[in-house]
Amino acid sequence: MRPLSVVQLLPALEAGGVERSTLEIAAALRARGHRAVVISAGGRLLPELQALGGEHITLDIGRKSLRTLRLVAPLREQLQRIAPDIVHVRSRLPAWLLEFALRGYIGKRPHRVSTVHGLNSANRYSRIMTRAERVICVSQTVRDHVLHYYPRTDPARLQVIERGIDPADYPRGFSPSPQWQQQFADAYPALQGGRLLLLPARGTRLKGHRDAITLLAALRDAGEDVRLLLVGAQQAGRESYVAELWALAKRLGVAGHLAITAQRSDLRELYAVSALVLQLSNKPESFGRTVLEALSVGCPVLGWAHGGVGELLHQLYPVGAVQLGDGHALLRSALQLLDLQPPAPEQIPFTLAAMQTATVALYEQLVA
């Protein structure tokens, strides 16, 4: 097949799952001899994109302002100059700008691909993501969401391509260095001496921090010497929420066995020293990357059985799936997992390589 030219549109190249997926697909395109262009406002990941051979055009296509409509003409000009085979949109506002830009497009129009990364509110604004020739859904949960809220969508245009991890980044049986373990012990003395529960999640009320603290108290009341680390909950602007979490921990008598931190870059090490990883978001999520990462290392995962997290748990680690909101069942399952430590699956099928291969194959099929 001749080399393809693929343009990906997204608001910016800051840290995040959408941004990371964009770079992963750009890398796969370049590895297969295709051209990879990204149009965004730029950001911290721009040097990484350029290092792997991708091109970047700076347009602030994610700013939610009427002024952003002025970018329709510049976007059209850039696309006509590039003459891409594929334009892949990953966010709603860029998708709308593309819709308008293509109305005055001169020449052969590119094929449109979209990825529905999240379970966005169902409305006319969000519907634009379903109007591409091919709609990639990052999980079966997302596909079900699209068909439920947009029943006129042709199911044949939907393709589930799960996000994936590189198993080499999360090797089974990984053990942190003695230096890391000592630094961790020095930094978090409250977490030493017992088994560690880990909840990696941003500092929002939807992520289940209160459920995790309540579970910590229940486990300790049941005689389990466990500690809890809420990693990622400490964020600028979320100080009052974190204060609420500390107040709850004090009221339940477990403040001395809890640590709350900002985001960390050593999740692999944290998975490796944890007895149990928690995923307790009370709102369904589109995917459960943390489930894959933890299971890949070999750490048991316990979570509410809904959304993308529930989907992965049912497939890979059903003993860790608990009905949403059933605190008694959550405690029973936690006790069972801590006691028996059922092994995680040896192979995680949702890999980065599989995601890259399936996505590039979709591009090539559209153009063939």
Print the SS3 string covering 173-218: CCCCCHHHHHHHHHHCHHHCCCEEEEEECCCCHHHCHHHHHHHHHH
> What confidence score (pLDDT) does residue 64 get?
81
**What pLDDT shows up at residue 69?**
85
Report the candidate in 100, 153, 91 with the shortest Cα–Cα distance to residue 126: 91
Give the integer Cα–Cα distance in Å for 122 and 309: 21
How many Å apart are CA 322 and CA 60, to the nearest integer?
A: 42
What is the spatial distance between Cα 266 and Cα 59, in angstroms, rounded to a whole number? Answer: 33
> What is the model's pLDDT at position 117?
94
Identical topology for domains 5-164+351-367 and 167-340 = yes
pLDDT score at 287: 94
CATH code, 167-340: 3.40.50.2000
Q: Give residue-wise pLDDT tens across range 98-132.
A: 999 999 898 899 999 999 999 999 999 999 999 99
Whether the CA torsion 31, 37, 40, 45 is positive or negative: it is positive
C-alpha angle with apex 293: 37 to 295, nearest 5 degrees?
150
pLDDT at 126: 96
CA distances from 130 to 76, 99, 117, 126 (A): 21, 12, 12, 8
- What proportions of the chain, in percent to the nearest 5, are helix, strand and coil? 50, 15, 35
| Domain boundaries defined on the chain | 5-164+351-367, 167-340
- The predicted model scores a pTM of 0.92
Question: What pLDDT is recorded for position 14?
Answer: 87
The continuous run of DSSP H or E covering 55 comes out as strand 55-58
For the chain, list residues with pLDDT below 70.
Answer: none
- The Cα–Cα gap between 343 and 320 comes to 11
Please state the CATH superfamily assignment of the domain spanning residues 5-164+351-367 in this structure.
Glycogen Phosphorylase B; (3.40.50.2000)
Q: Which amino acid is at 357?
A: T
